[in-house]
Amino acid sequence: MDLIIGGAYQGKLALAKNKYGLADTDIATCSEASGIRFGAKCIDKLEEFTLWCVRNEKDATEIFRANRGEWKKSILICQDIFCGVVPMGAEERLWREMTGRLCAYLSSEADTVTRVFCGLEQKLK
């Protein structure tokens, strides 16, 4: 599994498409309406999945652990919302914390971890 993280609008998805030769049909985009499609070649916007988990009192990391076999060969993309200014609202703090915990778990499981900043790739692992 390859994990790509970075801030909003930094080029994470463009990098993944270029580096791994992904077509639009290879990419599953998380949203509160669609949830998460484990097993997709690429899963984008994991932070939207963690927001759904916060709002539905689920643990995102435990869900990923339970479905490990389905995403272990995927490219996972998550917006870095777990750094910087701590949000004022309780839900936003929980969301930030859950996203950080999920990314810490995924980083430990990943073959590679890449941070994208201004479209530039920085290999972390």
Q: Give the number of domains in the chain.
A: 1
State the CATH number of the domain containing residue 24: 3.40.50.300
Domain coverage including residue 107:
2-123
Sheet holding 120-123, edge to edge: 27-29, 42-44, 75-79, 2-6, 112-117, 120-123
pLDDT tens digits, 40-85: 999 999 999 999 999 999 999 999 999 999 999 999 999 999 887 8
pLDDT surpasses 70 at 33: no
Count CB-CB contacts under 10 A for residue 68: 11
